[in-house]
Every structure is written in structure tokens, then in C-alpha cells.
Structure 1
Amino acid sequence: MLEMKSLQDEPVEGFKVTLVDESDMYNWEVAIFGPPNTHYEGGYFKARLKFPVDYPYSPPSFRFLTKMWHPNIYENGDVCISILHPPVDDPQSGELPSERWNPTQNVRTILLSVISLLNEPNTFSPANVDASVMYRKWRESKGKDREYIDIISKQVLSTKADADRDGVKVPVTLDEYCVRTQVQPTDDGYNLLYDDYCDDEDLEDDEEDEENEDCCYDDDSGNEDS
């Protein structure tokens, strides 16, 4: 309840959270808006965030309801990201314990990690091998092989019907996307407005850094280049 109130008072850019059922605080519906200046611009992606009864000692699960083609998203919509992995020491996974879930994390950090994951996939041990191979072909061809991007564009376009049905206006400019948060008056009496996490550089489609912590290590995933 405290986290829901916090997100309502100080929203995260690009997200809208509501309860699936007002009587069930453990099951949230998440709407994700594609960040401007990225291949997901104009997209309206729906997901479910489910909390275990021992939260925050165990991580919630995050599953996309909208069909997603992404190296780190399983075909059933489950997101494979380090921050949502249980806090166990598993040397075989390739993950450091510090990269996994811990009780200091919260919904806000999860949402920001998901946005980062969309634009910066990790292809070293993917959840969707075919999407990973296609993404790497696109990168290595410097954009000439557009199969991956064309699929993303079609998925973004297909979400417009959902947005219209839900009566949602999807932000497509930085001004619409950014949430301006009112902060407490300064000592000289002025109120300041600031854009939380809303720097143009943060919203650019930075495809240069694959080695982020948002990854899925699965020994059975196979060789992505095969």
C-alpha cells in the first residue's frame, strides 16, 4: 500500500500502475509507455506485477500481457532480469548476489530496470534465443538488417488498438512523457520543478552497452548462435 501511494504521489516516467482488483493488493496491472526517441516510441504495453506474501524478502514476478519480441522476455511474457531473481548465491548462474533481488529494492527500481532492459537487451544468455540472434544481426549490420526492428515496429503499432480501447493517450514527446514533480520549497521560499529521470540522454536508444546487469542466465538456453 505504501509503495502504491508513493508511485501515485511521485510517478515514474512511462508507467501507470493500478490494482487488478481493489481487494487484492498483491496483484498489480502495469501499463508501460514506449520512451520517445526509441524504437518503442508510441507503444502501450500491458503487464502484471505479482507480489509474494513474504515481499519484500522475495521478489515479485513481472509478466507482459502484450506480445513482446525481445531477447530477455520469454514467449509467455515473463521478464528475465537479474533484479527479479531470488537472493541466493548461485555461482553457476554467472550472476553476483548483489545483482539479484534484495529487500532494499522496490517497484520503482523494477520499473526503471524494465525500461532499461527494453532498450539495452542482454544477449549473452537470452530468454528468447531467436530474438537475441535477430537483435545481434541488426546490430552487427549497423541497421541494414531490419528484421528485428520491423517486428518491434509492428508490435508498437498493434498496441494502438489497446490504448484506444482503454481510453489511454500514449505520450510521444518528451514533454508528454516526463513527469514534473513538485518538491518542497527551498530556504528562499521558491518552489522548484524537476524532471525525475528525464534527461534526453537517458531516453536515447543507446545500443552500445550490452553488459548490463539485467540478464537471464539459463544453462539450458543453448548457444544463441546455433
Structure 2
Amino acid sequence: MSQIRQTTGVTTATTHYTSSRTSNSPSIRALQLEYSKLQKEPVEGFTVKLDDDSNLYKWHVGIFGPPDTLYEGGYFKADMEFPTTYPFAPPKVRFLTKMWHPNIYENGEVCISILHPPTEDPQSGEHPSERWNPAQNVRTILMSIISLLNEPNCSSPANVDASVMYRKYKEQKDGEYETIIRRQVNESKLIAEKEGVSIPKTLDDYVAPSRAGATGNRNGKKSIFSTSSHENDDDLGIDNDDDQMADMGEDDDDNYYNESD
């Protein structure tokens, strides 16, 4: 069953797969393994959970602003929607939190090379190696986006006004860009407080989950890196062999890209 959804002038199609737990399609198997591994081995900088346990094609993401950047202390929510051809085609990532950034469209959609299909496009100025390939995964995507927050690519921006303002900020000619980002960070903190989410305040806090390989809990609040929990992986149709494959899988974490449109 397909449902057409209208979002800020952009129409997208969302397909609901009520039987995705038992599906043996390559995309479902790939997403099962990735989701299971991210639950068992939390990663610095973000948290993931499913929109619906029966639909592995849509994830909710929480991205935390890196320390010592304009985004420090921020909590930014996004949706990640995967195609049925994943991992041979990239997902779409759209921020739900209002974001003022050279590489994020006004509707929240992220414009970055790693999310572009692996097709030839001479006009884009991108090398094929910068675009999506099946070796990429959710972690490399989100780490690329986190890096992009503080290091925008202004050569071909998605938001021209934000790009112009960012250039002035970097040239120390204007502080408006910083003012807007600080305001958005403060607004995101209120959302985190309302949702009971604890935001990392130091670099050690920020990287602690990946070092420890486990989630934590402070002051009775939700762990910033806790994912949607399941008592066992059978909820996602993952058996013991799948667990072993997930544990044995190696991430190409050093191969993510910061380039965008």
C-alpha cells in the first residue's frame, strides 16, 4: 500500500511494508543487520529508532551537535527513508528540526554527494567516487552530515542565502549566521528537555558510547545514544546467524564524504 505525502511543496511517496519482518528481500536484510548493529554498538553523534517496527524503510534520527562547534549542545531531528533498492541506492535524509545551512534545502532535505545516486552527472562537478555506493551505510551517512554541519560546502549550495551569510561569517564580516545557528541550537535544547533527552556537554560524553559499546543513563533521562529497544532481535526478523554477520561486518568509516551539491 502506497501513500503520497506532501511536505513543503515536495511530494514524496512512502510505501508501508507490513510484512517487512519476514521479508527476505536484499534491502530488508541489509537494514535488519544495520539496525541491529547500531543498537548493539552505539555510535557517537546520533541515535536511531524505527518509525514503526513493521516498516524498516523509515528511521527517525537524532543528531547531536559536535563539541567546539556552533552546533554544540544541539539536538536535531531528522527522517531517513530508504528505497526498496537499498543498499544499491541511497536513502533520503530530511531534517524535521528547522535548519539554516548552505547544504540543507528549506524543506529540510540534505544535499550531499554521498546521498546522490551513482550516476554520471558532468554538470554536478562531482566525481563518481564521491557519490553513493553500496559500501556506504547509515553510519557513514550520518557522520558525513555531522561533519557537514560545521564545514559546509558553498560551491553549489542548496540554500544560497545561507551560503552567502556563512561566507560573511567566515570572513568575519558579519555575525548574523552565528546568531541564527545559536538560536536554533537553543530552540533544539528545549525540545530535548521536553522529550527527556540528555545532550552531551563534553567531548568525552560525546564519544563515550562508541568507546564503551553500550548505552548509558544520566539523571533518570534517556541515554542520548539509546536506540529503540527490542527484548530480542526476533522482533525485526533477525536470527542468530544475522547477529553474527552484523558483528563481523566492517564499516568503511574512513570513506565518508563531506562534499555536497
TM-score > 0.5 by shorter chain = yes
Give the partner amino acid of 2:191.
Answer: D
Give the partner amino acid of 1:94.
Answer: G
SS at match of 1:30: strand
User: Distance between the aligned counterparts of 1:155 and 1:91, measured in 2?
Assistant: 36
Match for residue 177 of structure 1? 206
SS at match of 2:212: strand
Match for residue 259 of structure 2? 214
Match for residue 192 of structure 2? 163
Aligned CA RMSD, in angstroms, stands at 1.4
Greater Cα offset, 119-128 or 2-11: 2-11
The runs of at least 4 aligned residues of structure 1 exceeding 2 Å deviation read none
Match for residue 138 of structure 1? 169
Structure 1 spans left out of the alignment, 5+ residues: 183-211, 217-226
Is residue 116 of structure 1 aligned with residue 147 of structure 2?
Answer: yes
SS at match of 1:215: coil
Deviation at 1:77, TM superposition (A): 0.2
Deviation at 1:176, TM superposition (A): 1.3
SS at match of 1:159: helix
Match for residue 58 of structure 1? 89
SS at match of 2:42: coil
SS at match of 1:37: coil
Deviation at 1:181, TM superposition (A): 3.4
Check conservation: 2:45, 2:143, Cα contact below 8 A. no
Match for residue 126 of structure 2? 95
Which structure 2 residues correspond to residues 76-95 of structure 1 after superposition, within 5 A?
A: 76-95=107-126
How many aligned residue pairs are there? Answer: 186
Check conservation: 2:192, 2:198, Cα contact below 8 A. yes
More helix per residue: 2
Check conservation: 1:13, 1:177, Cα contact below 8 A. yes
User: Distance between the aligned counterparts of 1:181 and 1:157, measured in 2?
Assistant: 29
Give a deviation string over 1:1-25, Cα, whole Å, max 9, x none: 1001111122221100000111111
